[in-house]
Amino acid sequence: MLVDKTMFIADVLDCDASVVVCCRPEGFGKSMNLSMLGAFLERPAVGRSGQRLFADAQIWDADGGRYRDEHACYPVISLDFSGAARRGPAVASVVRDALSGECARWLALLEAPDLARDKVRHIERVARGVASTDEVDSVLGVLIELLEMACDEQVVLLVDGYDVAWSRRASARDASDADPAGLFDRVLFDAIATARDSLRLTCLMGERPGPAEAALSLHGCSYCLTTPLSTWCDRWFGFSDAEVQALLNHAGREEYLDDAREWLEGYRFGRAYCSSPERVIGFLDRGCTAPVRADLYGYADCLSRVVVGWNLDRLSVLFDLLEAHGCAEVPLCLGTAEPDVSPDDGLWTALYLSGFLTTDMTEEPEHGDRLRSLRLPNNELRQALRLVIVEWFECAAEDIRDVDAFRDGLCHGNEDTVRRALSRILGDAGIGATDPDTPLPYHLLLQGLCFGLPGYANPASRRKCGADRWDIQVFPTGAVLDVADTIGMLGERPLITINLMYDPDVDALGLELLAVQALLDIERDGIDEIRVPRPGVGRMRWGFGFDGQHVATVCQRL
């Protein structure tokens, strides 16, 4: 077996708590592990013998083979609510469909004459889709009760996507004015609390630990929780480097291991570094080629919805993440009893739990306000974030042609084109309207507009170096994401160095002199006194002057 995660089953069976809650980002094997757990525990259908799917797996002989005693023993109820995340507010219909499907699947087993007929008819109505809302809400508890009686065995409950009711899109009430969170509390958590000893175990899979912690604590249920910070079960989600290597070797693509590491690896769960199984399989399916922007739109679109309303100051944190060894120092608020969580902290926690960011600081306690360094896991997320920044600035300008003109003029050294385009963008974006007495917003605007220059790497800023450092450098590169990044790319690309000065009290002539002084400071401070790396040819210096309403530009090509 190339990838064997079956010891996840052992960890779940050995858990003392009645409920196991596993939280990982999308694409890290939650559904795979849940289906594996169900396949191991579920008793075969009537008239069919159990298949020894696990005979060659680690779980089969582990600990003297004692886990075989629970193989194919239990009736298993499997509920998949994860589709609700893709259907927005239509959570109630997803819940109804999932419950209806399980009722129909087990209906044949509920024909025993000693079962209460009214309860069996309850199951039948839900299976046929003709049940009332109250009947749907209460059917899980009835199904657990009848299965325990019919099989003379405890029941296993497996739930995928238990937390979709708390997602941003599903948090709105649906057309029936139903509260999705309240619906899950009635349908799922009430049934878990009521069933208690009728359940051998319950396993909940999702991204957010908070909803399960709150609901299970409220109902007095014991639970064991694993999050991306936890060491328990840390090896059973995601593919390790050795597992990725084994898959590549099996596919005859072992020479692409370094590419897989660059693009996919870098997440840390507990003590283990790993890659997303979903992305690894996608990498293999496309012949081990690097992703193009179409492969990144899923990530980029989700991030764009998050940052669409951000101002430049908040957006600058994303600039920092794209710097070499860039990170964001923020607390992770995974618990439920943290009333002082700021909206920003909650946002960074959501990005972490969704897999857009990761941290190496997993040894610290999971709860509390300790700052952790969040970073981008790999090149795939770096490229996705770059697309998000490019789109933000293109949307900030009323006419995207102004952004194109600025970038084209900057690369060609055309002062008038850059000045006219930047003047229009300044008006569209409202730069300086809220904080007119600082050069920071102008610096961030220039830096942001330099993302996406054809044939150039991401811009590097010196604003955090202190001493009024407002210079930016953009280095030529031969590494582009795809052919779209080559449109408008010059054959000979110089190293571009930008500097700016700001003074709200200057007149028109003084504004021009500000730009000239900013240009001269590049040489005076030796900012671009470096060997221009290949494929760069020469240097280009830009000086910008701002007075809060207007801009002056001057360029020097060396």
pLDDT at 512: 96
Mean pLDDT computed over 520-532: 89
- On the question of pLDDT at 250 being above 60, the answer is yes
Encoded tokens for 554: 């001057």
Tell me the per-residue pLDDT of 58-85, one tens digit each, with 9 for 90 and over. 999 999 999 999 999 999 999 999 877 6
- H/E run at residue 407: helix 400-412
Q: How far apart are CA 266 and CA 255, in angstroms?
A: 19
pLDDT at 161: 93
- On the question of pLDDT at 274 being above 60, the answer is yes
Q: Higher model confidence: residue 51 or residue 286?
A: 286
- On the question of pLDDT at 435 being above 80, the answer is no
* Cis previous bond, 535, omega within 30: yes
List Cβ neighbours of 410 (8 Å cut-off, separation of 6 or more): 418, 450, 453, 496, 542
pLDDT at 132: 95
What amino acid is encoded at 195 in this protein? A
Choose the most confident range, by mean pLDDT, from 55-59, 336-340, 527-531: 55-59
What pTM does this model have?
0.89
Residue 484 DSSP one-character state: G
One-character DSSP codes across 298-310: HHHHHHHHHHTT-
Q: How far apart are CA 418 and CA 498, in angstroms?
A: 13
pLDDT at 175: 46
Assess contact for 267 and 404: CB atoms under 8 A: no
Residue 468 Ramachandran class (φ > 0 left, ψ -120 to 50 alpha, else beta): left
- On the question of pLDDT at 365 being above 80, the answer is no
One-character DSSP codes across 158-220: EEE-TTGGGSTTTTS--TT---HHHHHIIIIIHHHHHHGGGEEEEEEEES-SHHHHHHHHHTT
* Secondary structure of residue 296 in the 3-state scheme: helix
Place of tokens 């509260």: 179
Buried b (16+ CB within 10 A) or exposed e, 501-523: bbeeebeeeebbbbbebbbebbe
- On the question of pLDDT at 169 being above 80, the answer is no
Helices and strands counted in the chain (H then E): 20, 15
Q: Secondary structure of the chain: what % helix, strand, coil (to 5)? A: 50, 15, 35
pLDDT at 86: 60
pLDDT at 534: 83
Q: How far apart are CA 418 and CA 545, in angstroms?
A: 12
- The share of the chain scoring above pLDDT 70, in percent, equals 92
Tell me the per-residue pLDDT of 316-346, one tens digit each, with 9 for 90 and over. 999 999 998 999 999 998 865 454 566 777 8
Q: How far apart are CA 286 and CA 28, in angstroms?
A: 19
- On the question of pLDDT at 433 being above 60, the answer is no
Encoded tokens for 92: 């109630």
- The share of the chain scoring above pLDDT 90, in percent, equals 72
One-character DSSP codes across 141-174: HHHHHHHHHHHTS-EEEEEE-TTGGGSTTTTS--
Encoded tokens for 360: 């190496």
Q: What confidence category does residue 478 fall into, taking pLDDT thresholds of 50, 70 and 90?
A: confident
Q: Which domains does the chain have, with CATH numbers?
A: 7-226 (3.40.50), 241-381 (no CATH), 398-557 (no CATH)
For residue 544, the cross-strand partners are 500, 553
Tell me the per-residue pLDDT of 107-124, one tens digit each, with 9 for 90 and over. 999 988 889 999 999 999
Q: Higher model confidence: residue 26 or residue 535?
A: 26
CA angle 175, 177, 178 (to 5 degrees): 105
pLDDT at 341: 60
pLDDT at 428: 81
Residue 74 DSSP one-character state: B
- On the question of pLDDT at 170 being above 50, the answer is no
Q: How far apart are CA 356 and CA 296, in angstroms?
A: 12
Q: Higher model confidence: residue 353 or residue 530?
A: 353
- On the question of pLDDT at 548 being above 50, the answer is yes
Mean pLDDT computed over 502-507: 92
Tell me the per-residue pLDDT of 450-472, one tens digit each, with 9 for 90 and over. 999 999 999 999 887 665 778 99
Encoded tokens for 31: 């559904």
